[in-house]
């Protein structure tokens, strides 16, 4: 029964409304192989600025901007390659390239829609409403019942670019970090000491304090103790002489001989969360970037160490000439949230046959040296989820991603991996959350308005048209059941404007009965008997009924086609209600009248008080048209 109840919209149930924007700028750069050409990138940037200012067609704007900045240069030189040779020739004109890019943009938006739909379905949202906004690169998403804004943002914006990389060991990277520290000390010596380097670290032996404090589960207060002991003077001196080590600690432990040693493994450094941005800024300085090998890039762990705010830094090893990972996400055929042998949440991955063969080779190479086993980093969206040391070759194509996960984390990660990666980056352009309290109030107010309107109409029809009015009321009740039943069977979502649409539909349904009944009364006034009057009444009222309902139905269809959110909710119930009303007012009421005639039951269309009501009324609309023009 629960699964068959009517679905409530965002305004009734509460939830989250998100507008996703697909980055066509990143798509264009990706299709062109991320060129370094200044004019090309300037055209991409200018097109994005114009789009943000209200422009409609990003691709057209980009092509126009490029032709302004690089007159005479062919876009095909950037976009034509072996992968798309069948679609775009090297000799293609800029117009042909524009058409190609338009198709790719449309395809990217369509695929993004599919991926986002899969992610939301996997999240467990009941009856989400998703719409592509025609003529734009935006997708509107309504998720009733969802309140966790941060979790949804991660779910929708993650590009799901899963990668497997070899990593450098800390012993290989430590000398480089030492050189970077010296370079920074030399470069920054004329600058004021950083004021944000309040990490729990000191020179010399205190560099190991951060690691020891996080690894010693029996002394969780050690990290805080170290931070309290640091004086401002010591920190300022450390920031000046060892700027990198002031915000990044090496993984050091005290050996059996009492000497400090590097902790073997893939972790090359650790920082508190507030210091990761400073480390990133140091690594991006031209003097530092020049010292980092082209085969190395740094990535942070996706989460801090358990029980602390310390993030781990990894040095990824780039082994291919094109900069691609050792294994990509396309090697994953399926994934699921699971638990390891200790009962901790993990994600189990199942690889394709080709991916399994590559994975077997990669892990065999990593475990080849018994005295120096290597690690493989599992990276998603440039964040390291885990970097386990490979003990043995892994065959069979089944592996796991472990880490400091909750069950919700593994569910979302598995969902993202299953849905696949977005063809272009997507960002949240706007969002808002409707609380369940507001939704409950909306339901209450909507139902009150609906019930009042319904009761007033029932009373009016019964009083004004007597027994025929009760026939109309019966048809009205059947009409209401039809509307709700159709909404449920179609899986449509009932919104607050949708309730307004139902109320309007009730009025239209009654209007059809009124047209019929008034025509029947005219026929009776001409001296015809009841059966003939009813037959003639239905016959002659039908053109007016069809004209009114078809006109409103066309309006509803237009609202549904071009509207979104509440507008579409109103249009849905309106169109369904019109079709149902026609059937109820014309077919059901006619059947009831025929049944009453067969049983020789008395049928009346008025009573003593309403028999002569509104007779001989005359309104001079044409003569007073100027007054009506002014009022309207």
What stretch of H or E contains 269?
strand 267-272
pLDDT band at 82 (very low <50, low <70, confident <90, very high): confident
Distance CA 466, CA 524 (A): 15
pLDDT band at 201 (very low <50, low <70, confident <90, very high): very low
Distance CA 201, CA 250 (A): 10
**pLDDT tops 90 at residue 51:** no
pLDDT tens digits for range 85-107: 778 888 899 999 999 999 888 88
What is the average per-residue pLDDT within 462-469? Answer: 88
Tokens 């059937």 correspond to 583
Name the pTM for this structure.
0.52
Looking at residue 160, its pLDDT comes to: 64
406 shares its domain with 453: no
Looking at residue 221, its pLDDT comes to: 43
Average pLDDT, the chain: 81
> In the numeric block, which tokens belong to residue 595?
């049944």
Looking at residue 226, its pLDDT comes to: 46
pLDDT tens digits for range 142-186: 887 777 778 788 778 876 678 889 999 999 999 999 999 999 998
Looking at residue 56, its pLDDT comes to: 79
220 shares its domain with 304: yes
> In the numeric block, which tokens belong to residue 457?
């109409």
432 and 143 in contact (C-beta within 8 Å)?
A: no
Tokens 């069950």 correspond to 407
Last residue of a domain, one of 432, 452, 473: 432
pLDDT tens digits for range 265-285: 899 999 998 899 999 999 999
The separation between CA 319 and the C-alpha centre of its own chain, rounded to angstroms, equals: 35
Lowest pLDDT segment from 7-11, 221-225, 290-294: 221-225
177 shares its domain with 133: no
Which has the higher per-residue pLDDT, 202 or 293?
293
**Count of alpha carbons within 13 Å of 343, Cβ hemisphere only?**
0
pLDDT band at 298 (very low <50, low <70, confident <90, very high): very high
**pLDDT tops 70 at residue 536:** yes
The alpha-helical segments, DSSP class H, found in 290-406 are 353-366
Looking at residue 323, its pLDDT comes to: 84
> In the numeric block, which tokens belong to residue 612?
């002569």
Q: What share of the chain is helix, strand, coil (3-state, %, to 5)?
A: 55, 15, 30
152 shares its domain with 167: no
pLDDT tens digits for range 375-425: 889 888 788 888 888 888 888 888 887 777 788 778 877 776 766 666 777
Q: Report CA Rg, the chain.
A: 35
User: How many domains is the chain partitioned into structurally?
Assistant: 3
Distance CA 632, CA 623 (A): 16
β 332-339/129-132 pair status: unpaired
Q: Is 307 helix (H, G, I), strand (E, B) or coil?
A: coil
236 shares its domain with 258: yes
184 shares its domain with 218: yes
488 shares its domain with 534: yes
Q: Is 291 helix (H, G, I), strand (E, B) or coil?
A: coil
Looking at residue 203, its pLDDT comes to: 37
What CATH number should be reported for the domain holding residue 513?
1.20.1640.10
Residues 488-510: b if buried by 16+ CB within 10 A, e if exposed: eeeebbbbbbbbbbbbbbbebbb
276 shares its domain with 185: yes
What is the average per-residue pLDDT within 352-356? Answer: 87
pLDDT tens digits for range 565-587: 678 778 888 899 899 988 888 88
495 shares its domain with 575: yes
Tokens 């140091």 correspond to 282
The alpha-helical segments, DSSP class H, found in 262-390 are 276-284, 286-289, 353-366
577 and 502 in contact (C-beta within 8 Å)?
A: yes
416 shares its domain with 446: no
Last residue of a domain, one of 398, 432, 466: 432
Domain span including residue 74: 2-156+428-432
Distance CA 5, CA 16 (A): 21
> In the numeric block, which tokens belong to residue 202?
């000191």
- What percent of the chain has pLDDT above 70? 86
Phi/psi of residue 99, nearest 5 degrees: -65, -40
Q: Is 132 helix (H, G, I), strand (E, B) or coil?
A: strand
What is the average per-residue pLDDT within 469-493? Answer: 86
Looking at residue 1, its pLDDT comes to: 42
Distance CA 474, CA 612 (A): 25
Distance CA 530, CA 398 (A): 80
CA-based nearest residue to 593, from 544, 536, 540: 536
134 shares its domain with 252: no
352 and 358 in contact (C-beta within 8 Å)?
A: no
Which has the higher per-residue pLDDT, 167 or 308?
167
Q: How many residues are listed for the chain in this entry?
A: 632
- Other Cβ atoms within 10 Å of 379 Cβ, number: 23
> In the numeric block, which tokens belong to residue 102?
């338009």
Distance CA 290, CA 285 (A): 9
Distance CA 510, CA 356 (A): 67
Last residue of a domain, one of 364, 394, 421: 421
3-state SS string for 482-543: HHHHHHHHHCCEECHHHHHHHHHHHHHHHHHHHHHHHHHHHHHHCCCCHHHHHHHHHHHHHH
> In the numeric block, which tokens belong to residue 361?
């080779």
Q: In angstroms, how far apart are the furthest CA atoms of the chain?
A: 120
The alpha-helical segments, DSSP class H, found in 188-312 are 209-215, 222-229, 232-241, 276-284, 286-289
What is the average per-residue pLDDT within 522-528? Answer: 88
Residues 6+ apart with CB under 8 A from 170: 250, 251, 262, 263, 264, 265, 266, 267, 268
pLDDT band at 553 (very low <50, low <70, confident <90, very high): very high
Distance CA 418, CA 336 (A): 8
The alpha-helical segments, DSSP class H, found in 55-208 are 58-69, 76-79, 94-123, 149-157, 170-187
Distance CA 82, CA 90 (A): 10
Phi/psi of residue 71, nearest 5 degrees: -60, 135
pLDDT band at 439 (very low <50, low <70, confident <90, very high): low
358 shares its domain with 467: no
Distance CA 521, CA 523 (A): 5
């Amino acid at each position: 029964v629960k699964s068959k109840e009517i679905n409530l919209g965002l305004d009734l149930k509460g939830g989250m409304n998100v507008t996703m924007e697909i980055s066509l700028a990143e798509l264009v750069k990706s299709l062109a192989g991320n060129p370094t050409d200044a004019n090309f990138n300037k055209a991409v940037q200018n097109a994005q600025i114009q789009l943000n200012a209200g422009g409609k067609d990003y691709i057209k704007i980009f092509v126009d901007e490029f032709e302004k900045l690089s007159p005479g240069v062919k876009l095909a030189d950037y976009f034509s390659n072996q992968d798309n040779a069948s679609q775009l020739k090297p000799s293609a004109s800029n117009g042909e390239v524009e058409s190609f890019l338009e198709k790719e943009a449309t395809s990217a938006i369509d695929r993004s829609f599919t991926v986002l739909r899969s992610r939301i379905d996997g999240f467990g949202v009941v009856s989400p409403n998703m719409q592509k906004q025609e003529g734009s690169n935006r997708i509107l998403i309504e998720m009733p019942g969802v309140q966790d804004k941060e979790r949804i943002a991660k779910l929708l914006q993650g590009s799901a670019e899963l990668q497997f990389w070899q990593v450098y060991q800390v012993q290989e990277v430590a000398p480089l970090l030492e050189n970077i520290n010296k370079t920074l000390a030399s470069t920054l010596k004329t600058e004021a000491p950083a004021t944000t380097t309040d990490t729990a670290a000191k020179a010399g032996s205190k560099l190991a304090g951060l690691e020891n404090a996080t690894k010693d589960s029996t002394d969780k207060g050690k990290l805080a103790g170290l931070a309290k002991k640091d004086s401002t003077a010591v920190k300022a001196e450390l920031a000046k002489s060892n700027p990198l080590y002031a915000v990044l600690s090496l993984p050091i432990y005290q050996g059996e001989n009492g000497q400090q040693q590097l902790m073997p493994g893939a972790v090359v450094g650790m920082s508190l969360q507030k210091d990761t941005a400073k480390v990133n800024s140091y690594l991006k300085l031209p003097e530092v970037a020049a010292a980092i090998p082209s085969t190395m890039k740094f990535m942070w762990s996706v989460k801090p160490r358990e029980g602390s705010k310390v993030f781990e830094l990894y040095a990824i090893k780039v082994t291919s000439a094109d900069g691609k990972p050792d294994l990509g996400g396309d090697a994953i055929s399926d994934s699921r949230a699971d638990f390891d042998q200790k009962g901790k949440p993990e994600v189990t991955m199942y690889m394709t046959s080709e991916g399994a063969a590559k994975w077997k080779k990669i892990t065999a190479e990593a475990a080849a040296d018994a005295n120096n086993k290597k690690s493989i980093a599992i990276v998603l969206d440039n964040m390291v989820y885990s970097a386990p040391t490979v003990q043995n070759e892994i065959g069979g194509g089944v592996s796991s991603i472990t880490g400091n996960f909750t069950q919700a984390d593994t569910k979302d990660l598995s969902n993202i991996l299953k849905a696949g990666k977005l063809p272009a980056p997507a960002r949240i352009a706007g969002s808002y959350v409707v609380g369940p309290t507001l939704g409950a109030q909306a339901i209450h107010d909507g139902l009150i308005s609906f019930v009042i309107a319904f009761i007033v109409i029932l009373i009016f029809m019964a009083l004004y048209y007597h027994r025929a009015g009760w026939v109309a009321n019966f048809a009205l009740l059947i009409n209401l059941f039809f509307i709700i039943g159709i909404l449920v069977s179609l899986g449509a979502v009932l919104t607050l404007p949708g309730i307004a649409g139902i109320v309007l539909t009730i009025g239209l349904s009654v209007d059809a009965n009124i047209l019929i009944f008034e025509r029947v009364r005219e026929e009776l006034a001409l001296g015809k008997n009841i059966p003939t009057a009813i037959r003639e009444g239905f016959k002659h009222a039908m053109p007016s009924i069809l004209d009114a309902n078809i006109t409103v139905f066309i309006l509803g269809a237009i609202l549904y086609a071009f509207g979104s959110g509440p507008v579409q909710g109103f249009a849905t119930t309106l169109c369904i209600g019109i079709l149902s009303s026609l059937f109820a007012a014309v077919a059901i009421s006619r059947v009831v009248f025929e049944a009453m005639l067969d049983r020789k039951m008395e049928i009346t269309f008025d009573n003593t008080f309403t028999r002569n009501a509104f007779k001989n009324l005359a309104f001079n609309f044409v003569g007073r048209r100027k007054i009506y023009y002014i009022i309207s």
